[in-house]
Amino acid sequence: MRESRGALKVGSLRGIPIRVHYSLLLVLPLLAYLFGGAFRRAAEVAEVPPEQLMGSPMLWGLGVAVGLFASVFVHELAHTFYALARGGQVRSITLMMVGGVSELSEAPPRPRDEALMALVGPLTSLALAGLFGLATWGVEGTTSFNLQFACFYLASLNLFLGLFNLLPAFPMDGGRILRAVLSGRMGPVRATRVASLVGRGFAVLFALWGVVSFNPFLFVIAFFIFMGAEGESRQVRMKALLERVSVSELMSPRGAGVEAGALLEQALWDLRRERQTALPVTEDGRPVGLVDVEAVRAVSEADRIHRLTREVMRPVQVVRLDEDGWRAVRQLAENSAQLLAVVDADGRLVGTLDVDDVQRGMMLLQTREERAERDARRWRQERPA
């Protein structure tokens, strides 16, 4: 297993990392306790004598909790396979305390495909509910009480999972379907804003329900839905803005980096002079690597006057001057890069792009758009009837 962004990588499928978030590890004992507490009542509903079941209620509770997240995993696999089939790119699958998420680096291009991609998850869960329901019916009347109870519980969990995800509470599947339906009329930004408002409305309802029923887990669900809806809305607005500008409008111009053949003492001086923690390493004006302050300081002062920058440089991510800003931001995020080296058509360094550059650019772009909207409103108000 490998740790990554608050999650443990437990495997991969077709090159897609599969991760388990720490929040899931924290909530599993709580779910096991809750399911174990409902053990006797669930057995009565399943028409299974509780005393005929092997194992303790808590052991069954843990098994049911694991079964729930196995069902969530299958649900997310359905999203993933559909996205891949329709030209999307899936960066990872992560199981969390309130479900799972298939993180897309490239969504399917058409709203119709996004709607169907969101729909296949709940449909898969409902199909599993039907299969386990048939299995429950098939063993009913036999002495296979443990199998009957397990199939009944898995059918119930998948039925709940499928129906719950169809609620139009963005960013859940139902909310994504709503957003895709609205996108054809409103465009992606306005459609996401509306779906986000609906999602936050559902989050408030879940929180109120949690107060009335004294159920703290509903507060957790409400929090994740509320924050997820806000985060998705913000990302879509950012994407819409950055797709309309080129990297040249966001970058910090920089005609030279640190020469690959420069001594480390010179590299440290260049970093201090530019007030940067990292700079591209260049040969003949072309970026060949990246050097940062930590790498230089890891070498003793006595050795810095003998060793060259190329000895401690790391690989550098490169982006073209004319690429759109959103593609560059995705490249920054997906590679966890400190900065991107911006090059012209000949591959020569002309600038760098980091998170600070993007934030400054976003502020300027938003200010420009707000000013344009104010001017447009003023023009409509002043225009003669």
Binding-site positions for Zn(2+): 75, 79, 173
Pairing status of strand 278-283 against strand 286-292 = antiparallel
| AA identity, residue 8 | L
Ordered strands of the 317-320 beta sheet: 252-253, 349-353, 340-343, 317-320
What torsion, rounded to 10 degrees, do the Cα atoms 44, 47, 50, 54 define?
-140
Catalytic annotation present for 76: yes
- Cβ contacts of 341 within 8 Å, gap of 6 or more: 257, 280, 287, 290, 316, 317, 318, 319, 349, 352
Phi-psi region of 194 (alpha: psi -120 to 50; beta: other; left: phi over 0): alpha
Cβ burial 44-70 (10 Å sphere, 16+ → b, else e): eebebebeebeeebeebbbbbbebbbe
C-alpha 85/C-alpha 109 separation (Å) is 12
C-alpha 20/C-alpha 343 separation (Å) is 38
Residues forming beta bridges with residue 287, ordered by sequence position: 282
Determine how many CB atoms are found less than 10 A away from the CB of residue 318: 16
Detail the DSSP E strand segments found in 212-348.
Answer: 252-253, 258-259, 278-283, 286-292, 317-320, 340-343
Of 51, 76, 140, 311, the catalytic one is 76
Detail the DSSP E strand segments found in 269-330.
Answer: 278-283, 286-292, 317-320
Reduce the DSSP state of residue 370 to 3 states and report it: helix
Binding-site residue ranges: 75, 79, 173
Considering only CA atoms, give the Rg of the chain.
27
Residues forming beta bridges with residue 289, ordered by sequence position: 281
C-alpha 67/C-alpha 195 separation (Å) is 31
Determine how many CB atoms are found less than 10 A away from the CB of residue 87: 12
Place of tokens 């004598």: 49
Residue whose C-alpha is closest to residue 86's, from 125, 57, 117: 117
What residues are labeled active site?
76
